[in-house]
Structure 1
Amino acid sequence: MRALPFAALLLAGCATTSAPLATEAPMVAATAETDPVDTAADAADDPAIWRNPADPSKSLVIGTDKKAGIHVYSLAGKRLSFTPAERLNNVDLRETGARVIAAASDRADVATAHVSLFTLDTAAAKLVPLGRFPVGAGEAYGMCLWTRARDHALFGFIVLKDGRIDQVAIDLSGATPKVTTVRSMKLATQSEGCVVDDRTGQLYVAEEDVGLWRFDADPSAATTATAIAKVDGKTLVADAEGLALAPSGRSGGYLVASSQGDNAYTLYRLPGVTYAGRFRIGGGAIDGTSDTDGIDLMLGDFGPAYPRGLLVAQDGDNAPATQNFKYVSWDAVRRALKLR
């Protein structure tokens, strides 16, 4: 869903005293950007990051074109490969043993949600399809993965457009994957962005016009949602979209949300999920971001440009080119917000 530009929101705030003004946010410059996707209009959607521990300069970024397929990019933003697929929306990845598995929400069948699985060939910088698997009735929208700490079992969460969240168990032990729906949860209205904290087993989901919610990710847990942050028009502006984590220690760090309605990104301090600040991407040699759908964040050394981590954000308006993804140093965000 496309939101009003930030300038329009400001004008609306001037016209009525009842409309809150978004909290100011410092600019953080993008360090690099990807090649634009091939499809025009609203096409690029969600990224995922793989960090190469042996050679951080050879780390990879995956990005979906929800009208054509899925790309693999270098840290310089160069497109290294493309895998055609009809309608992939959100993507996430996990390392399982010697393999890197990517999972994407598949919207090709709007009546039945699917998840598409891939192996990321890190040497060839290419995604190898493993198949499409039905999840349940409805249109697939958001997607995130979770590796359970106690047994390394892999689970996926597919957020349907109507707010239902289907949890699937992903079994990769056989010749072909098995994907089994193990439980469902529900939010009241349209939702998409999600992320799971592998350390704590907490699932975070963005209900676009309402706010952020937390669930226990274990399939044996209750399906009750806990509200953790509201769309208030100040710190978080609808649509609330992509979510990402910057973990620290056993349960600390930050949850980052795309505040799409005013082209900003909001941080919440973990584990209590308290407001910690917000920023925008812009002000550098590379154009800034707006209308951001998906984001991803990974900490660690990615080389001199990203010494403490890499943030990737979809850019909804990369005119005159088609949409793409922007890269930002997490260290620059930390300095701008004076984070400890």
Structure 2
Amino acid sequence: MKISNMTNAGLFRRLPVVVMVMTLASCAAAGKRAAPIGVRIANATHAVDVTARGETAPVGTPNADAADDPAIWRNAADPAQSLIVGTDKKAGLYVYGLDGKTRDFLDAGRVNNVDLRDGVTINGQSGILVVASDRNDAANANIALFRLDPGTAKLAALGKVDGGRGEAYGICLYREGTATYAFIVLKDGTVNQIALDASGATPTGRMVRTLKLGTQSEGCAVDDRTGILYVAEEDVGLWRFDARATGSTGATKIAAADGGNLVMDAEGVAIAPIGTRDGYVLVSSQGDNAYVAYRLTDDSYAGRFRVINGKIGGSEETDGIDLMLGNFGPDYPGGLFVAQDGHNATAAQNFKLVAWDDIARALGIAH
């Protein structure tokens, strides 16, 4: 039957109910996105205020949505010499010191999100493996691998492995025993788990399994202690999966992006591990310039905070975040939280550095 020969009423009577529900949901999501920022903040749950203690130099791409995601490496021997790797998703990867100064830039093209792990075998030696979601080919996702030299703060490209068909968005690493896995989140909500091997001259990857969310997703993080993967579905909420290679592929929703505790877009994800199983998962509530903490033990809501203007500017419209506990020197004695700043006054976008102790005290949570 040709649609042109049907009345509008006849057409809508024949539309599947699920299509109409999805259309209404899409319109509702668009309406929430379109609401002025002041309205979104007023409708959201109260957030406490913290201020940044530092910031990085702006990325090199001006007048554009360019800075995206950070990853932290902690120097256990000399915490003040720790490093931050950050993406300019239109140009490549930066390495910053805790003073915010640029230590290195590697032209890697359109790399979106980044993660790293220390103690990975690289070319036969233990080292710091950095991975980025490579979207230089929008139709075919790749994982770009790099080695970070802690002494020189330089990145060296190792090669790329296949991440599956689709546009690469998010990425996070997971260590299970001696194995290293990357979860690459594609734009359509597909999450591919890739077993990585960087021990030889050329890195290799093997797809282990595929997980699925229904719509656009990006931020992710894995708790290596418990083997749980957390993924943010931008207009829907925060989910968790079993990260183990032989685990269930089913998803459990932790929080809905309903405009209360979590405001769409739900973006970056980071973990604050405390003890053997406790701690918090943090997610960027991009829609109202806030960040939300949920308890790892029972997925319960723990609080919200914003990074506001102080001696250092605040952070707004945050995409990627990272968090690592431990001593990072006198400015960050209990841990470091890094957030992309999507509106860095008149300069290009950058990353803001916040002391975990300041966040935990403001929220009244353990640290």
Which interval holds the TM-score relative to the shorter structure?
A: over 0.9
Instruction: Indicate the residue corresponding to 1:237 in structure 2.
Output: 263
Q: Say yes or no: does 1:28 pair with 2:50.
A: yes
2:250 maps to 224
- Is the contact made by 1:29 and 1:288 (CA closer than 8 Å) also made in structure 2? yes
Return the letter of the residue paired with 2:303.
G
Structure 2 residues not aligned, in runs of 5+ = 1-29, 121-125
Matched, 1:124 2:145: no
Partner of 2:316: 290
Q: Where has structure 1 moved over 6 Å in runs of 4 or more? A: 2-7
Matched to 1:118, the amino acid is F
* Residue 144 (structure 1) aligns with: 172
User: Which residue identity does 2:150 align to in structure 1?
Assistant: T
Cα distance in 1 for residues equivalent to 2:60 and 2:230: 31
Change (3 A) 1:3 1:121: farther
Could you tell me which residue of structure 2 aligns to residue 261 of structure 1? 287
Classify the secondary structure of the residue corresponding to 1:237. coil
Q: Does 1:168 align with 2:194?
A: yes
Aligned match of 2:211: 185
**2:60 aligned with 1:60:** no
- Match status 1:43 vs 2:69: no
| SS of alignment partner, residue 287 of structure 2 | helix
* Corresponding residue of 1:17: none
Q: Distance in 2 between matches of 1:12 and 1:137?
A: 35
Match of 2:335 among 300, 309, 321: 309
Normalising by structure 1, we get a TM-score of: 0.94
Shift of 1:128: 0.6
Distance in 2 (CA, whole Å) between partners of 1:278 and 1:200 is: 24
Q: What RMSD over aligned residues (CA atoms) do the two structures have, in Å?
A: 1.8
**DSSP-derived class of the 1:199 partner:** coil
Question: Equivalent residue of 1:336, what SS?
Answer: helix
Tell me which of 105, 126, 144 is aligned to 2:133.
105
Where 1:312 maps in the other structure, the secondary structure is: strand
Q: 1:7 to 1:339 in 2, by over 3 A?
A: farther
The answer to whether the Cα contact below 8 Å between 1:163 and 1:190 also exists between their aligned partners in 2 is: yes
Aligned length: 331
Conserved in 1, the CA contact under 8 Å of 2:40 and 2:259?
Answer: no
User: 1:176: Cα distance to partner?
Assistant: 1.8
CA distance in 2, matches of 1:156, 1:293: 20
What is the identity percentage for the equivalent residue pairs of Structure 1 and Structure 2? 58
Tell me which protein shows more helix as a share of its residues: 2
Secondary structure, in 3 states, of the residue corresponding to 2:43? Answer: coil
1:318 is matched with which residue?
344
The Cα shift of 1:271 comes to 1.4
Identify the residue that residue 9 of structure 1 maps to in structure 2: 37
SS of the residue 1:57 aligns to: helix
Q: Gaps (5+ residues) in structure 1? A: 14-19
Could you state the TM-score of these two structures normalised by the residue count of structure 2? 0.87
